[in-house]
Chain A
């Protein structure tokens, strides 16, 4: 994303006007997180207005509009982000010429045009994601294909999300003594071919830094061989030139969980570098490990986490973007303060994207969890729960 112009500071409550030019779907996700209800947008749009008194004559012009955001629609998969809002009065007189205030107008964010965002409330989190999004460093995606016999998922992993581009399913004949084996081989071939076609269709090789092929058994290896064979057959330079981008990995299943499995597997850690999604998967796994060891260092649930934060005991705070970007400002403030307090006591706060599998899991797990610096066996003592009759209140000692 490009920050073309900025007026005002990004300090909390000061408010600022930012002229932004989104460039890819990651930016859309950033904007989705950044723009809140009641923020204002200035953009150009073709607008039809009736000018005559008897409402006959219509004119369509490209006009500058300024709206206050009411609602939004977002789909990461289709790279679609649209805001709805109503026009507001503009003191500067630069926008909303001859347009009444209170008209409902929608605006679909596009990569082609810049727009201006007037945002009143900035917090740490917003500042951070904006800064990250505007850093010009290469933001390449990882492609991942996870497969098993007859099922393949063609995905893209970005910093913020796991996007399932296409699911390929072929019902391969279960082999039987009487089944013609030729037919089976033919169908298997079709299956691999379909994956190859999907790769060509869904992946933009200039924006991808790695292609992960994971499967149980030998399917991933076979797929790799097939891809190279198909590509050399039709002299597909995109693939042949990027042969070293492929990484064949082992997972236990051909469903999406297989990707998470690979991400947290130390064998592939060096190859995956320290990407955000592999970091998230690893921290989540670390959390699970502490729970399993029963060392009283891993806790989840709002009350437990806040209590631990009060004691300054949190080493790592796991929180979902849903909570961190809660539409309720009081809630959001509460979590921002929590994150700040954790960081001030030497801890680390990690915001999980719920568009990744590990974030989705955390979301189910109340959305907030922590790993402590030292064990606190009685952390949940004295916290009220609805079913207080249950005296064995210790989640750790089962």
Chain B
């Protein structure tokens, strides 16, 4: 490796891809062949404590390190598992990949350099050999980058047994300690017409994520169809239907950053018919911003039985949203009345406590989304002299820092899991683009992931993130990113599918056992009842197969009742559920494996009737 010189590099593109040992042997000239046979026994001896390799793998490694037995051994040992290794290790070679690399700690400068090199790579079509992008880099860093020969191209639906190394490994721990700014995903909830989209449009505009010209254009367009006050909402609502009707239908994500933190907004629809989309929105968020219309009677109509304020907060609670920031919106319409503010606060707090939130999990900010006071930097008007707390953005920044500390823990200790929101194809036949969220762990370009339920293993070619859609060298838990994959079959990937690092299996099933906590319902759940099952963006008709036991909500291991004939409101029970559309299985993660995606929501006749924790996947 150290003897690597310019000429070798030029030749490199000509090294063919070997499919078996014979091909490789044929490629070598006599001298190299002898050299190979000399080095091989040495390497074999060194590898006998490891498993999973073949002579062919060894030969490739030797060739790759230019017949240096030590380097080859070093690389191989990192790549393969030691025999009799403990279970813990089996989960993530991911960790190994990052931790023991004796790379001189990546200074910001070198990091930048790697980043720059990434886009250039995309122009090259062959990614067979990892070392193709190291033209300008110095010898020492090249040494660590050029580690491993890629595995053979994985055939359709064959799962990879071995993980691959990142192309430009980054020390994950160091990255999250030093490099990463706090990142927060928040969903905007609230009753229809509570001004969610307008608030988000305002936020993006004031922060500078949307430029003035665009707002001016939207304003003109909205005035043309007589909906002048909707121009800020149109930043988020883009389809013709949404604009003409003035309601948000589907979820819309958008990124922005402040000096203190990076944010991803998920704007969710408020209309009751689109609660399924709101569920998808909540599933992607860490915290929720609840927009409340403080206008006269408006709060009340959103808060009564049919209003979505209650259903949305209940969903947030069910899906483990830790903090709710209540945006007391449209305060300008009630002249910033403190009385109104506290009256609504009291009523809402009572409800929050009822569904299990504590006072310190709820933050309150009076504001006006339309005119912008209390959102970012626009000061409150004179009438408002009773609140001197932080603005909405400041509150979110504080929350981001808090959430960040907790979520970072899961980056290192947990395997990589990614939930897919959307799949797009490109002209290249084996390339697919997945947009989604990293649920746990971390990912770097060059690593191999397996997609469930199609169980295809793909190579992560590129990770794209942020508002400007820049390529990045790492994504960690909580990040919204787009993965560009190679060796994939996009037609068998759907929104809602899960990806995981190689070695971590996700079960797919049509039947599973869940612990269901029912809300207030007007019809009980019976064996055979048809319901709709939601998990993130997944939406599937399902049927309750069996009611197994009723358990104590406080202590689920305590069985209260064994014979259950029907399941009424406000009970916790273990039930078996089956998907009724036989077309496709869905990958499921139990609540113990991941408390975020191990949850489902059950709806029936247009109402959310229960929340469930997945206990067992058959």
Which residues of A are at the interface with B, using a C-beta cutoff of 8 A?
Answer: 148-149, 171, 173-179, 181, 184-185, 188, 216-218, 222, 250-253, 255-257, 260-261, 285, 288-289, 291-292, 294, 300-301, 357, 360-365, 385, 387, 390, 392-393, 395-396, 398
Task: Tell me, yes or no, whether B120 is within 8 Å of chain A by CB.
Answer: no
Q: Is the CB of A176 within 8 A of B524?
A: no
Q: Give a binary string over B228-256; 1 marks a CB under 8 Å from any A CB, 0 the rest.
A: 00000000001111000100011111100
Task: Tell me, yes or no, whether B469 is within 8 Å of chain A by CB.
Answer: yes
Q: Give a binary string over B420-457; 1 marks a CB under 8 Å from any A CB, 0 the rest.
A: 01111000000000010000000000000000000000
Q: Can you give 22 A-B contacts (C-beta < 8 A)?
A: A175-B238, A175-B239, A178-B469, A181-B239, A185-B239, A185-B240, A216-B606, A218-B245, A252-B603, A253-B606, A255-B532, A255-B581, A261-B606, A288-B526, A292-B521, A300-B526, A300-B565, A362-B528, A364-B543, A365-B528, A387-B563, A395-B565
**How many Å from the CB of A292 to the closest CB on chain B?**
5
Q: Is the CB of B274 within 8 A of A365?
A: no
> Which among B527, B545, B550 has the greatest number of chain A C-beta atoms within 10 A?
B527
Q: In the complex, what residue of chain B is closest to A264 when comparing beta carbons?
A: B605
- Chain B stretch 251-289: residues in CB contact (< 8 A) with chain A: 251-254, 271, 273-274, 276
CA distance A152 to B266 in the complex (A): 26
Q: Is the CB of B606 within 8 A of A251?
A: yes
Q: In the complex, what residue of chain A is closest to B565 when comparing beta carbons?
A: A395
CA distance A361 to B523 in the complex (A): 14
Q: Is the CB of B241 within 8 A of A222?
A: yes
CA distance A340 to B423 in the complex (A): 58
CA distance A289 to B526 in the complex (A): 12
The 7 lowest CB-CB distance pairs between A and B, nearest first, are: A364-B528, A252-B606, A395-B565, A216-B273, A217-B273, A288-B523, A361-B528
Question: B495 to chain A: which residues have CB within 8 Å?
Answer: 171, 174
Take A174-B251, A217-B274 as given contacts and tell me if A392 and B561 are in contact as well, using a CB distance cutoff of 8 Å: yes
Question: B603 to chain A: which residues have CB within 8 Å?
Answer: 252-253
Q: Is the CB of A171 within 8 A of B252?
A: no
Q: Is the CB of A218 within 8 A of B241?
A: yes
Question: B562 to chain A: which residues have CB within 8 Å?
Answer: 387, 390
Q: Is the CB of A257 within 8 A of B530?
A: yes
Question: B531 to chain A: which residues have CB within 8 Å?
Answer: 257
Q: Is the CB of A255 within 8 A of B252?
A: no
CA distance A148 to B606 in the complex (A): 13
Q: Is the CB of B527 within 8 A of A365?
A: yes
- Chain B stretch 565-618: residues in CB contact (< 8 A) with chain A: 565-568, 571, 581, 603-607
Q: From DSSP, what is the main secondary structure of chain A's interface residues?
A: loop
CA distance A322 to B521 in the complex (A): 30
**How many Å from the CB of B102 to the closest CB on chain A?**
40
Question: A288 to chain B: which residues have CB within 8 Å?
Answer: 523-524, 526
Question: B29 to chain A: which residues have CB within 8 Å?
Answer: none
Q: Is the CB of B561 within 8 A of A398?
A: yes
Take A217-B274, A261-B605, A387-B563 as given contacts and tell me if A173 and B422 are in contact as well, using a CB distance cutoff of 8 Å: yes
CA distance A362 to B529 in the complex (A): 9
Task: Tell me, yes or no, whether B320 is within 8 Å of chain A by CB.
Answer: no
Q: In the complex, what residue of chain B is closest to A265 when comparing beta carbons?
A: B605
Q: In the complex, what residue of chain A is closest to B567 when comparing beta carbons?
A: A398
Task: Tell me, yes or no, whether B541 is within 8 Å of chain A by CB.
Answer: yes
Q: Is the CB of B273 within 8 A of A398?
A: no
Task: Select which of A294, A360, A393 is within 8 A of B528 by beta carbon.
Answer: A360
Q: In the complex, what residue of chain B is closest to A393 when comparing beta carbons?
A: B563
Question: B545 to chain A: which residues have CB within 8 Å?
Answer: 364
Question: B524 to chain A: which residues have CB within 8 Å?
Answer: 288, 291-292
Take A171-B495, A181-B238 as given contacts and tell me if A398 and B469 are in contact as well, using a CB distance cutoff of 8 Å: no
Task: Tell me, yes or no, whether B557 is within 8 Å of chain A by CB.
Answer: no
Task: Tell me, yes or no, whether B522 is within 8 Å of chain A by CB.
Answer: yes
Q: In the complex, what residue of chain A is closest to B606 when comparing beta carbons?
A: A252
**How many Å from the CB of A347 to the closest CB on chain B?**
22
**How many Å from the CB of A379 to the closest CB on chain B?**
11
Task: Select which of A257, A300, A387, A398 is within 8 A of B568 by beta carbon.
Answer: A398
Question: A148 to chain B: which residues have CB within 8 Å?
Answer: 276
CA distance A179 to B237 in the complex (A): 12
Task: Tell me, yes or no, whether B494 is within 8 Å of chain A by CB.
Answer: yes
Question: A361 to chain B: which residues have CB within 8 Å?
Answer: 526, 528-530, 543
CA distance A70 to B155 in the complex (A): 48
How many A-B residue pairs lie within 8 Å, measured between CB atoms?
A: 128
CA distance A148 to B562 in the complex (A): 39
CA distance A364 to B576 in the complex (A): 13
Q: In the complex, what residue of chain B is closest to A184 when comparing beta carbons?
A: B239
- Chain B stretch 131-149: residues in CB contact (< 8 A) with chain A: none
Task: Select which of A176, A250, A365 is within 8 A of B526 by beta carbon.
Answer: A365
**How many Å from the CB of B213 to the closest CB on chain A?**
15
Q: In the complex, what residue of chain A is closest to B583 when comparing beta carbons?
A: A167
Question: A395 to chain B: which residues have CB within 8 Å?
Answer: 563-566
Task: Select which of A179, A252, A289 is within 8 A of B273 by beta carbon.
Answer: A252
Q: Is the CB of B566 within 8 A of A398?
A: yes
Q: Is the CB of A257 within 8 A of B541?
A: yes
Q: Is the CB of B561 within 8 A of A390?
A: yes
Q: Is the CB of B527 within 8 A of A364?
A: yes
> Which among B251, B274, B469, B526 has the greatest number of chain A C-beta atoms within 10 A?
B526
Q: In the complex, what residue of chain A is closest to B532 when comparing beta carbons?
A: A253
Task: Select which of B274, B563, B604 is within 8 A of A390 by beta carbon.
Answer: B563
Q: In the complex, what residue of chain A is closest to B467 when comparing beta carbons?
A: A177
Q: In the complex, what residue of chain A is closest to B568 when comparing beta carbons?
A: A398
Question: B240 to chain A: which residues have CB within 8 Å?
Answer: 181, 185
CA distance A96 to B249 in the complex (A): 67
Question: A294 to chain B: which residues have CB within 8 Å?
Answer: 568
Take A174-B495, A216-B274 as given contacts and tell me if A363 and B563 are in contact as well, using a CB distance cutoff of 8 Å: no
**How many Å from the CB of B509 to the closest CB on chain A?**
19
CA distance A285 to B526 in the complex (A): 12
CA distance A318 to B469 in the complex (A): 59
CA distance A261 to B550 in the complex (A): 28
Q: In the complex, what residue of chain B is closest to A180 when comparing beta carbons?
A: B238
Q: Is the CB of B568 within 8 A of A292?
A: yes
**How many Å from the CB of B278 to the closest CB on chain A?**
12
CA distance A176 to B271 in the complex (A): 20
Question: B421 to chain A: which residues have CB within 8 Å?
Answer: 174
Take A177-B252, A398-B566 as given contacts and tell me if A363 and B528 are in contact as well, using a CB distance cutoff of 8 Å: yes
CA distance A398 to B560 in the complex (A): 10
CA distance A149 to B271 in the complex (A): 15
**How many Å from the CB of B324 to the closest CB on chain A?**
25
CA distance A367 to B567 in the complex (A): 18
CA distance A173 to B425 in the complex (A): 11
Q: In the complex, what residue of chain B is closest to A216 when comparing beta carbons?
A: B273
Question: A390 to chain B: which residues have CB within 8 Å?
Answer: 561-563
Q: Is the CB of B541 within 8 A of A256?
A: yes
**How many Å from the CB of A362 to the closest CB on chain B?**
7
Question: A392 to chain B: which residues have CB within 8 Å?
Answer: 561, 563
CA distance A288 to B581 in the complex (A): 24
Take A253-B606, A357-B530 as given contacts and tell me if A173 and B424 are in contact as well, using a CB distance cutoff of 8 Å: yes
**How many Å from the CB of A391 to the closest CB on chain B?**
10
Task: Select which of B467, B532, B550 is within 8 A of A257 by beta carbon.
Answer: B532
- Chain B stretch 180-232: residues in CB contact (< 8 A) with chain A: none
CA distance A82 to B421 in the complex (A): 46
CA distance A4 to B524 in the complex (A): 49
Task: Select which of A149, A178, A363 is within 8 A of B249 by beta carbon.
Answer: A149
Task: Select which of A179, A257, A291, A364 is within 8 A of B566 by beta carbon.
Answer: A291
- Given contact pairs A174-B495, A184-B239, enumerate 12 new A-B contacts (beta carbons under 8 Å): A174-B421, A181-B240, A185-B239, A216-B274, A217-B271, A218-B245, A257-B604, A289-B523, A291-B523, A390-B561, A393-B563, A395-B563
Q: In the complex, what residue of chain A is closest to B235 when comparing beta carbons?
A: A177
CA distance A36 to B521 in the complex (A): 43
CA distance A396 to B568 in the complex (A): 10
CA distance A380 to B561 in the complex (A): 16
**How many Å from the CB of A54 to the closest CB on chain B?**
52
Q: In the complex, what residue of chain A is closest to B275 when comparing beta carbons?
A: A252
Question: A398 to chain B: which residues have CB within 8 Å?
Answer: 550, 561, 564, 566-568, 571
**How many Å from the CB of A17 to the closest CB on chain B?**
40
